[in-house]
Amino acid sequence: MRAGYGLLLLVLLAPLAAGCRHAVIVADNGPKPEQVRATISGTVLRPETKAPVAGRQVVATENTTGARFTATTNPTGGFTLLVDPGTYHLDVTLQSGEGVVNPPAALVVGRGEIKSGLEIVLGQSR
């Protein structure tokens, strides 16, 4: 019987205890990043077979500030660059006799924007 009284007392007092709570607003006053970054991603491929090119460095250079962001292509030729908002041109590390068949145009990215699906095709230099 005692266990039953304890449970009954708990059930009766629980609403009173919950009513004593005060709402608290949580505000983060700590430092914030100056800007939200943007993402540029794509794939480096061979022209004939569309085979991925792994292990190549891709560099995004911001046209105004000269800030550089680099990534290395993965086994599927993919790369992802986390960059500051701005206007960029992309370069890929080339081997002797190589060139970029379809150089990407200037890329403009804003805060939090994602530019994906870029294809950089490598071929014979001209």
pLDDT of residue 71: 98
Is the pLDDT at 3 greater than 70? The verdict is no
What are 95's two structure tokens? 């081997």
For every residue of 89-101, DSSP letters joined together read EEEE---TTEEES
> 87: which residues sit within 8 A by CB, 6+ positions away?
62, 63, 64, 106, 107, 108
- Structural domains in the chain, CATH included, are 38-124 (2.60.40.10)
Instruction: Quick: pLDDT tens for 48-92.
Output: 899 999 999 999 999 999 999 999 999 999 999 999 999 999 999
Whole-angstrom Cα distance, residue 103 to residue 86? 18
DSSP label at 52?
B
pTM of the full structure: 0.71
